């Protein structure tokens, strides 16, 4: 049994990870802005602690834990990218990671591993294949991810294993990108976003949760891992496959102008993409359950 802290435990990925860890018998501490709500969403954790990275010293909570899984961060596409929203996107990741890293360094009985969420947004818009060794892109989100990961590197001086998991677009049947994409198809108006020619670095919810737990359990794993399926494809192909499974057409494209009205600069996250290859993830010995998009969509729609 491991003692593991999970921040952002009520989010899409956090719920799956925390649930799987509780199911296997680990003692989980959930850091949440609303512990009462977290207890309803994720029953069975050992502890629920109110999480506000700006106010608290987290050293006491971290003492004696085996691992910290850090997932907290404001949603990138929760609304239009105003200056304030961009500030919150940055600070909710960078400042929270700094708070945890500082607490880990102060702790007498330090965790053995710090696994921090990251994002394939690091690579920006890339037509050529990119892997964990590729350089950062040159847009706002790439800058955010670079600063985010740099904060976690502070713990390297204490010989604590660090893993940064650059997550792609997570497919889940109940919430997130996939759930939103399915709805138009039900009304025969589904189709790709923008041109449809952009790369679509996707991953099934079960695989992304499994990669985080794999990173906790395997002491040889450290550094950057890409959490995106090896079955990389473009938006057009993904939407065509979704339409086939739902017996619906897939030619009603979402115009870029609509997205720019909704998200401002943030629309580029949807209109662009990178051909992300999980080279180090595969070399570390992780096996994807859902390499094929057909298998993934079939599972989610069953």
Question: CB-side exposure of 275: number of CA atoms within 13 Å?
Answer: 8
Residue 54 has pLDDT above 90, yes or no: no
Alpha carbon distance 28, 19 (integer Å): 9
Q: What is the mean pLDDT of residues 128-149?
A: 96
Q: Which two tokens stand for residue 140?
A: 């706002």
SS3 state at 73: coil
**What pLDDT is recorded for position 172?**
96
Fold of 3-168+204-228: Rossmann fold (3.40.50)
Residue pair 202/278 in contact (Cβ under 8 Å)? The answer is no
pLDDT at 55: 79
Roughly what angle, to the nearest 10 degrees, separates helices 235-246 and 177-186?
50
- 74 burial (CB, 10 Å; 0-12 / 13-18 / 19+) is middle
| Cβ burial, residue 184 (10 Å; 0-12/13-18/19+) | middle
Residue range 151-174, pLDDT digits in tens = 999 999 998 999 999 999 999 999
| pLDDT number for residue 57 | 77
- Chain position carrying tokens 């491991």: 2
Containing 117, the helix (H) or strand (E) segment is: strand 113-119
Residue 64 has pLDDT above 90, yes or no: yes
Please give the Cα distance from 210 to 249 (Å, whole number): 33
Q: What is the pLDDT of residues 254-281, one digit of tens each?
A: 998 888 887 888 888 888 999 999 999 9
pLDDT (0 to 100) of residue 74: 87
Is the CB of residue 183 less than 8 Å from the CB of residue 134? no
In the chain, what is the straight-line distance between the N-terminal and C-terminal CA atoms, in Å?
A: 34
Cα–Cα separations (whole angstroms), residue 149 to 43, 90, 122, 239: 30, 12, 10, 32
Whether residue 4 is predicted with pLDDT greater than 90 in this model: the reply is yes
Q: Across the chain, what does the average pLDDT equal?
A: 95
Q: Percent of the chain scored above 90 by pLDDT?
A: 86
Domain boundaries, the chain: 3-168+204-228
* pTM: predicted TM-score of the whole model, two decimal places: 0.96
69-115 pLDDT, tens per residue?
999 888 888 888 999 999 999 999 999 999 999 999 999 999 999 99
Instruction: Give pLDDT, residue 137.
Output: 96
**Res 9: pLDDT:** 92
């Amino acid at each position: 049994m491991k003692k593991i802290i999970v921040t952002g435990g009520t989010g899409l990925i956090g719920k799956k990870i925390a649930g799987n860890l509780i199911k296997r018998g680990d003692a989980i501490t959930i850091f949440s802005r609303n512990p009462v709500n977290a207890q309803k969403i994720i029953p069975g954790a050992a502890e629920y602690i109110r999480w506000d990275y700006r106010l608290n010293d987290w050293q006491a909570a971290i003492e004696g834990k085996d691992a910290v899984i850090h997932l907290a961060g404001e949603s990138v596409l929760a609304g239009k990218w105003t200056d304030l929203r961009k500030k919150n996107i940055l600070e909710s990741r960078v400042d929270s990671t700094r708070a945890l890293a500082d607490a880990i360094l102060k702790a007498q009985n330090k965790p053995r591993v710090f696994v921090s969420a990251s994002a394939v947004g690091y690579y920006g818009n890339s037509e050529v294949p990119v892997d964990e060794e590729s350089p950062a892109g040159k847009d706002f989100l790439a800058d955010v991810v670079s600063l985010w990961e740099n904060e976690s590197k502070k713990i390297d001086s204490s010989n604590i294993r660090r893993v940064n998991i650059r997550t792609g677009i997570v497919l889940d049947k109940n919430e997130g990108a996939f759930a939103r994409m399915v709805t138009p198809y039900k009304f025969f108006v589904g189709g790709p976003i923008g041109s449809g020619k952009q790369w679509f670095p996707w991953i099934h919810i079960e695989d992304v949760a499994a990669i985080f737990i794999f990173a906790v359990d395997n002491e040889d794993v450290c550094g950057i891992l890409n959490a995106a399926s090896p079955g990389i494809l473009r938006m057009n192909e993904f939407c065509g496959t979704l339409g086939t499974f739902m017996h619906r057409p897939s030619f009603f494209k979402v115009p870029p102008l609509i997205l720019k009205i909704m998200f401002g600069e943030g629309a580029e996250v949807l209109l662009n993409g990178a051909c992300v290859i999980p080279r180090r993830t595969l070399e570390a010995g992780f096996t994807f359950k859902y390499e094929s998009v057909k298998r993934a969509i079939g599972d989610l729609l069953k």
